[in-house]
Amino acid sequence: MAPPRTYRAEALTLKTAPFGEADLLVTLFAREEGKLRAVAKGARRPTGKLVGHLEPLTFTRLSLNRGRNLDVVSQAQTLDNFTPLKSNLTALSKGLYVAELVDGFGSEASPNEPLLRLALDTLAALGRAPEDDLPLLYFQLHLLAVSGLLPELHCCVECRRPLEPGRHRYSAAGGGVFCPDCAAAPAVNGAPDGAGYSSGYGTGTGIGTRPLSLRALKVLRLLASRRRPADLPDLTLDEPLALELKAILTATVQYWLDREIRSNAFLNHLSRTGGGGAVSRSE
């Protein structure tokens, strides 16, 4: 039986782009559909009934009609506009980064309710505390968790022994923390704690590691143990610690995002070419 022509969805708008004369191409992350691209007809006309409901970082209930290529939004009702987030520039820019990562990690036709929940909770937390570093760090770590990519934080990824306090190292490509015995490889760029991490992986062993302070490890474990950003304790990070955590999590997210984008590009290429033929990519 053919699927119904019209369906309803609850979705967060990740981004929009002009489409045709007055339409909007909307990238959504929907509860039951995963990532979804749809057309909102007339949404760029000031009088259009969809205006305002589909701007980025808005959570809406939608009615959609299935199209041959792209589905078409016929109705939209705003469920949460995240007004506090949008009225603060710092919070807004962090929110757009959240949307960019959901877009990067989310897949089409692949629902991920925990990822949607995480994004919505994080946007609310950012609206409550725009300057707080914890909500975005929480988001980055749990984005990895709901994608099945959470770094190992309790055992050495090499020897599997439980980590004792010591001079640990961390590697995104290696999947987490190395104990002092296994972390003999030198730092990639001689990078000190909290700086200069993003410029490359690849020691002699093929996975760049960087020093990981004990207090950063403790905060990572604390973030991983909480169910929602609202459960985070009232904890202020000093600047070196905040920088170290940002460097570690941003590099880890970027590492997986690059792989994800490459594999998506490869899959898209295969689907366009029907799976045959040589793949040529310029990198």
Least separation in angstroms between CB 271 and Zn ion: 41
Sequence-ordered strand ranges (E) for the chain: 6-19, 23-30, 34-40, 59-65, 71-80, 168-171, 176-178, 210-212
How far apart are the C-alpha atoms of 220 and 154, rounded to whole Å? 10
Is 159 or 265 the residue whose CB approaches Zn ion more closely? 159
How far apart are the C-alpha atoms of 10 and 260, rounded to whole Å? 25
Does position 159 interact with Zn ion (CB under 5 A)? The reply is yes
Is 9 or 182 the residue whose CB approaches Zn ion more closely? 182
Is 28 or 216 the residue whose CB approaches Zn ion more closely? 216
Binding mask 118-157 for Zn ion (x = CB under 5 A): --------------------------------------x-
Is 21 or 164 the residue whose CB approaches Zn ion more closely? 164
Does position 28 interact with Zn ion (CB under 5 A)? The reply is no
Handedness of CA 139, 144, 147, 151 (dihedral sign): negative
Instruction: List the one residue out of 167, 182, 243 whose CA is nearest residue 212.
Output: 167
DSSP secondary structure code for residue 107 in this structure: B
Does position 179 interact with Zn ion (CB under 5 A)? The reply is yes
Is 147 or 171 the residue whose CB approaches Zn ion more closely? 171
Q: Determine the 3-state secondary structure of 220 from DSSP.
A: helix
- Sole binder of Zn ion in the list 71, 133, 158, 244 (CB under 5 A): 158
CB atoms within 10 A of CB 222: 15
Does position 184 interact with Zn ion (CB under 5 A)? The reply is no
Least separation in angstroms between CB 38 and Zn ion: 48
Side chain identity at 138, as an amino acid letter?
Y
- Sole binder of Zn ion in the list 182, 220, 249, 253 (CB under 5 A): 182
Applying CB under 5 A, which residues contact Zn ion?
156, 158-159, 179, 182
